[in-house]
Structure 1
Amino acid sequence: MLSKSHGEGLLSRYQSLRQDGRMCDIILEAQGKEFPAHRTLLACSSDYFWSLFQEHTLESRARTVSLPAVSSTGLELVLDFIYTSWISLSPSTLEDTLQASCYLQVTHALDLCTEYISNSLTLDNCCFFANVAARYSLSDALAVTSRFIARHMAGLLGASGDRSGLLELNLDSFREVLGSDEIPGVKETALLQLALDWLSCNPLPALESNSLLSRVRFGLVPPEDLNHMSSLNLPLRTPFIHSLVQKALHYHMQVPLQPLIQNVHTSLRATTNMVLLVGGGAEAERPQTQIQSYNQESRKFHVLPINMVKKLQYQGVCVVGNFLFVLGGEVVEVDGESEKTAVMTVSDQVWRYDPRFERWEEMEPLLQKRAQFSCCVVEGVIYAIGGRGQRGEPTLSSVERYNMSAGCWRSGVSLPHAIHGQACATIGRGIYISGGIHGSQPESSKEVLFLNTSDDDVWIRRSSMSIARFGHQMAAIKEKLYAFLGMYEPFCDIECYDPKQNQWTRLKPLLQDRFCYGLTVTPGGCALMFGGRKWQDGQEVCIHDVLEYNPEYDSWRKVCKLPHPLCGTQCAQMSLQELIER
């Protein structure tokens, strides 16, 4: 059995003895102030006193011990801790306490100082606490303060921030902050300027200056800014840093190749993948240019600061090298007066969104205009498969691949027949497509086709789905395919395909029909379904539910709601710099 009160009572009795001046066998002196104490308790609480009061030392028999290395304030606070387990900390007394705790080797008091720093961080004091942590080698507190400064850099650089504190930051903290993967709301140009300002206030040898500046991600700085800042700042003209700047300038010139040549200097300071909801709208055939991002951890939606160039539906969407590609689709131009009529024009345009600089760039167009086609990526190669041209025109059987090295589209292995409205997913180097409508057939299909892109010679038929589907979606989860609902299906069944067994299995259905939704797979292996349309009281209505399907338990649950009803959106996942909520 253990008595917790015994230890507390023992300390309490020692404190009473100290306050009454009873049985004290040692006097500690600091800055002319004396503190009576008990050798045994000091020796048990401090490695310094344990060594000092050994039998062979002069101090073991001394009545008074002078401690010139500590302040009276620090000694008093540490003694209070030794006798009570409590310590009173504030920014004004922190360094006195740390000085005494370090010198006297009272490790538990140092732990409380680390905890105090970690729990007391604000924009006003974080730089001060970081310097204190560095001065007294508090590694845990140093790591916490560095993370805090990086996460709140936007506020520190703002009008009411503490830029002067940043310029006085110790080298270890500043180096750690510059190397952080998470600095939300701050452009890399601002970080580069801060680093140059810090170096002007804290000159370093060339080797250390190079080490510090190498943590700046020069590929995220616009080329015009790089050239201008290099001409004005000597630290950017050392051979090593000059080579990094030249590599960044060369990267900016390699526009088609950029998704394939990503490295740490061109990657956003963001570690969380966001789900992008590209296009779609609150009603059928009325898409908007807005793009929303969804954070899977916070379950919050944000609107991106830049819209798509055109209103599109039935477009292809994919991500390569953290660039968003939007391919083809049907451009919708609504009559500005009545808004009841719209002109639909199938496009061959390819747009690329770069989140580093929040801009769209038009890339090499598709070989053919396509809508309701399949779009996927295999080892950095984008595939556009089947689909249809303008309404009333023949369906397509052609396949094309985007060669980023050459910056152009090239023909791939054609499908055995024309098809549109099919679903697509990839496993490894294999592409699977299912369902859709073949040629001018009136009915949707159950057929499944497979292409091994390593061989790249012919599409192979695999076991058919149990349900004919059109306008549906597929997802690859843990080496299996899952086919979800399509347009106007009489049932709400989903099914799973095992490539090893070449077999489909029906799974738990949705409780209600749903089509024209967005679909993506989470890192944890669940499928997220965003919005869509359903039948209600004899008419189609747009919905704003977000559902999650867990294949491990074959279960559905409602996760959250979209800010507004949404249908016809396409999903992709990529890293975005976190937005700062003000």
Structure 2
Amino acid sequence: MSYFLAYCKSHRGTVFTQYQMLRAERQLCDVSLIVDGNEFPAHKSLLACSSDYFRAMFKDHTKESKATIVHLKVISATGLQNILDFIYTSWLSLSLSTLEDTLEAASYLQVLGAIPLCSQFLINTCDLESCCFVVNIAFKFYLTDALTEAEKYIITNLWRLLQEDLDDTELLELNVKSMINIIKSNDIPRVSEKSLLTLVLNWLQYDRIRLGYAKVLFDNIRYGLLPLDTLRKLYTQTDVPLTASIKCMIIKAINYHSTPSKQPLLQDKFSTLRNQKEWIMLVGGTANDTFVENVLGFDVYSHKWRSVTNLHLKVQHHCTCVIGNFLYVLGGETPERAQYSTKDSSLCVTNIVYRYDPRFDQWLQVSGMLENRAQFSCCIIDKYIFAMGGRGDQQTLLSTVEVYDINRDTWTKCKDLPSKMHGHAGTVHSNIIYISGGKTDTQANSSKDVYSFNRLEGQWKKQASMSIARFGHQMATVKDAIFTFLGIYEPFSDIEKYDPKTNQWTRLRPLPFDRFSYGLVVVEQTVLLLGGKKWQDSQEVPTQNIVGYDTENDCWEEICSMAFPFSGLQCSVLQLSDVTESDEKCSKVHALKKVQ
């Protein structure tokens, strides 16, 4: 005997439609739900099928199972109306004005199918005007998805919300959990720490009951990012009581400001920028044969540009390095100091050292090097800056090495190089300095020599020579290998890799075309070469592209093109607070105007 199972797609919808018609005509309704004097006829069977609350209510042993009228006192008429419409039609009418009533009814009556719809509605309608309401409703009804999304929206757009008068904004009505999550966040763009502190103080004073949460909020303020006058006012204010531990953090931050030269050594969570990401700093050099004053930032992942700051001294043939997320710019040639010199020269070699703090967008002139230096190299070991060799006044070559102690803000002499040299390159591997190439006082041509310096031993040691003599080139350390890249006047475009363990050099895939006077920086395992010049028809021609060398796969790739030719620059990676897309566009335009 054979049989088959058939399914009618329209039957379920027809049943719901017929139930709705019966309710509208008040036919076969066996119960009336009364809320605030309003009567809602319904069918016990459908209510029990849609709600665990009604299923329990209408069991045989309850008095409501035989009652024809049931009074509901907790929920509102509007909420019940919306939930009954949902039960009978599967459609839920939602608006911000009725959402709370609807959620209360859905939660109380345990109509669970309606709650995710309310949550999605909150996510979809979250905007500047409603975000604070949304996050509070989501918190009240434990809508975790909506709460997470609404808090993310507020964090991203907090700078816009703070543009309004705090007395008139719903920010001060935020629930405790969301306020704590916001202040804990590392991803708040375009909001100063001072503005966050003001928000916390105003939020705590908006309802004095909240003062019990002062400690957890103050524990997440980054005091190192607050100006000195703000820290002093916070310490002496009496509106919000401060615990002893909070006062200690404020005093620590005041001391942090009192010794600015030591700040790179004092970095911790409380002086770390929020919403920060890596930007490649393009510092100094020339564009269109004009000295560049503007320091540009480049995001290698999004290919976006921004104007970061202006140099206090236009330079070329200088060095840069980063310690504690502070950018140091050392020495070089400058056209600015030459006007005060009695020598017949358009450029002047300087010993000046500036340090840039991205936290406060400020430059600080620290102690200058003992000697004026250009075309030298600098490296960092144990947060000490080593400046080595270079060209001094009147084109004299230097063999001297000096070390900058950040803690004391002083330069001291170190073991001299084996010979006077300039145009050499340097890098650090396992706390050992390596320098290569350059030109010496005894050689007119470029050198292949390589030396290493161990700070503990205090001596320079000769290592295996490069196979190519190089001058004005660059070195980079990636994992366990050292790479040397192109310099000036090289007949080929080969690069080499050095293994410090075996003291051996290996030739690698050459760059497609020659290049010199470029900026170099390492991002993850890729070495980027930015701008520079190349030889073409016996002339120096500026290049505008950025190329990357994949050290793992020994291959080159063109990343993008710069908007203008840039050469003689130095590059370092700095963590900056992120900006919005519109800010980046404005910064790029501003940067181009500065350069051009």
Give TM-score, length-normalised by structure 1: 0.88
Q: Aligned partners of 2:48, 2:255: CA distance in 1, in Å? A: 65
CA distance in 2, matches of 1:316, 1:212: 41
Q: Cα offset for 1:40? A: 6.9
Rounded Cα–Cα distance in structure 1 between residues aligned with 2:75 and 2:16: 22
Distance in 2 separating the partners of 1:419 and 1:382? 19
Q: Which of 281, 286, 292 is residue 288 of structure 1 equivalent to?
A: 292
1:45-104 Cα shifts (integer Å, max 9, x gaps): 655456556676666676666543333433444455566665443322322232233324
How do 1:18-417 and structure 2 match up within 5 A?
Answer: 18-21=19-22, 27=31, 29=33, 31=35, 32-34=38-40, 36=42, 39=45, 43=49, 46=51, 48=53, 67-79=72-84, 81=86, 87-159=92-164, 164-204=169-209, 206-235=211-240, 237-284=242-289, 286-304=290-308, 306-333=309-336, 343-394=346-397, 396-417=398-419
- Residue 150 of structure 1 aligns with an amino acid whose one-letter code is I
CA distance in 1, matches of 2:92, 2:442: 82
In structure 2, distance between residues paired with 1:6 and 1:70: 39
**Equivalent residue letter for 2:78:** T
Q: Which has the larger radius of gyration?
A: 2
The question of whether the paired residues in 1 share the 8 Å contact of 2:204 and 2:211 is answered with: no
Stretch deviating more after TM superposition (243-252 or 156-165):
156-165
Residues 42, 507 of structure 1: alpha-carbon distance in 2 compared, 3 angstrom cutoff: farther
Cα shift at 1:365: 1.3
- Amino acid across the alignment from 1:507: L
One-letter amino acid of the counterpart of residue 471, structure 2: F
Partner of 1:552: 552
1:117 is paired with a residue whose SS is: helix
What's the counterpart of residue 587 of structure 2? none
1:459–1:113 Cα change, 3 Å: farther
- Contact persistence 1:25–1:39 (CA under 8 A): no
Contact (CA 8 Å) 1:230, 1:236: kept in 2 or not?
no
Q: 1:436 aligns with which of 430, 435, 438?
A: 438
Quickly say closer, same or farther: Cα 1:447–1:68, change in 2 above 3 A.
farther
Three-state SS of the structure 2 residue aligned to 1:216 is coil
CA-to-aligned-CA distance 1:207-246 (integer Å, 9 cap, x gap): 4222222322222111123223444443265534332221
CA distance in 2, matches of 1:20, 1:10: 15
What letter is aligned with 1:288?
V
Once the 2 structures are TM-superposed, how far is the Cα of residue 253 of structure 1 from its aligned partner?
0.7
Match of 1:532 in 2: 532
| Cα drift, residue 424 of structure 1 | 2.1
Separation of aligned partners in 2, 1:84 and 1:448: 82
Output the aligned Cα RMSD: 3.1
Distance 1:114 1:385, change over 3 A: farther
Q: Deviations over 1:259-290 (max 9, x none)?
A: 11112222211331211111122145x42121
Moved more, 54-63 or 185-194: 54-63
Please give the alpha-carbon distance, in whole angstroms, between the structure 1 residues aligned to 2:93 and 2:381.
Answer: 60
Higher mean alpha-carbon deviation, 252-261 vs 197-206, is at: 197-206
Tell whether the 8 Å contact from 1:301 to 1:563 is kept in structure 2 after alignment: no
Query: How far apart are residue 150 of structure 1 and its match?
Result: 2.1
Residue equivalent to 1:477:
478
User: What amino acid is aligned across from residue 424 of structure 1 in structure 2?
Assistant: G
Shift of residue 514, structure 1, vs aligned partner: 1.6
- The sequence identity of aligned pairs, in percent, is 40
1:576 match: 576
Which is worse superposed, 441-450 or 14-23? 14-23
Counterparts in 2 of 1:114 and 1:575: CA distance versus 1, 3 Å: farther
Give me the whole-angstrom Cα distance separating, in 1, the residues matched to 2:567 and 2:439.
Answer: 21
* Letter of the structure 2 residue corresponding to residue 261 of structure 1: L
Distance 2:218 2:567 in 1: 46
Show the counterpart of 1:445: 447
Contact 1:290–1:308, Cα closer than 8 Å, also in 2: yes
8 Å Cα contact 2:518/2:568 also seen in 1: yes
Q: Which runs of 5+ in 2 are unaligned?
A: 1-5, 584-596
Q: Structure 1's 56 and 246: CA in aligned 2 closer, same or farther, altered over 3 A?
A: same
Q: For the residues of structure 1 that align with 2:81 and 2:417, how far apart are their CA atoms?
A: 83
Residue-pair matches, total:
568
The answer to whether structure 1 residue 465 and structure 2 residue 466 are counterparts is yes
Q: Deviations over 1:375-407 (max 9, x none)?
A: 22233222222222125212x222222212222
22-31 or 542-551, larger mean C-alpha shift? 22-31
Amino acid at match of 1:155: R
Q: Take 1:334 and 1:219, find their aligned partners in 2: how far apart are those partners? A: 35
Q: Is contact 2:31–2:43 with CA below 8 Å preserved after alignment?
A: yes
SS at match of 2:276: coil
Deviation per CA, 1:317-336, whole angstroms, max 9, x where unpaired? 11111111111111223999
Change (3 A) 1:527 1:67: farther
Q: How far off is 1:484 after superposition?
A: 1.9
Judged with a 3 Å threshold, the aligned counterparts in structure 2 of structure 1 residues 224 and 392 are, in CA distance, closer, same or farther, namely same
Closer, same or farther: CA 107–475 of 1 in aligned 2, 3 Å: farther
Mark the CA change 1:536 to 1:172 in structure 2 (over 3 Å): closer, same or farther.
same
Q: Distance in 1 between matches of 2:161 and 2:8?
A: 45
Question: How far 1:363 sits from its partner (Å)?
Answer: 0.6
C-alpha displacement of 1:10:
6.3
What is the correspondence of 1:468-547 to structure 2 with a 5 Å cutoff? Answer: 468-523=469-524, 525-547=525-547
Whether the aligned pair in 2 keeps the contact of 1:218 and 1:245 (CA below 8 Å) is yes
Unaligned runs of 5+ in 1: none
1:16–1:563 Cα change, 3 Å: same
- Stretch of structure 1 that moved more, 307-316 or 20-29: 20-29
Query: Counterpart amino acid of 1:289?
Result: E
Given the superposition, is the C-alpha separation of residues 79 and 457 from structure 1 closer, same or farther in structure 2, using an over 3 Å criterion?
A: farther
Alpha-carbon distance between aligned partners in 1 of 2:442 and 2:41, rounded to the nearest angstrom? 98
Distance verdict in 2 for CA 1:105–1:7, change over 3 Å: farther
Instruction: Please tell me whether the aligned partners of residues 281 and 573 of structure 2 are also in contact (alpha carbons under 8 angstroms).
Output: yes
Separation of aligned partners in 2, 1:388 and 1:57: 98
Partner of 1:17: 18
In 2: Cα distance, 1:574 partner to 1:26 partner: 72
CA contact (8 A) 2:438 2:470 kept: yes
Give yes or no for contact 1:386–1:418 (8 Å, CA) kept in 2. yes
The 1:17/1:258 distance shift into structure 2, 3 A limit, reads same
CA distance in structure 2 between the partners assigned to 1:55 and 1:451 by the alignment: 91
> Are the counterparts in 2 of residues 14 and 83 from structure 1 also a CA contact under 8 Å?
no
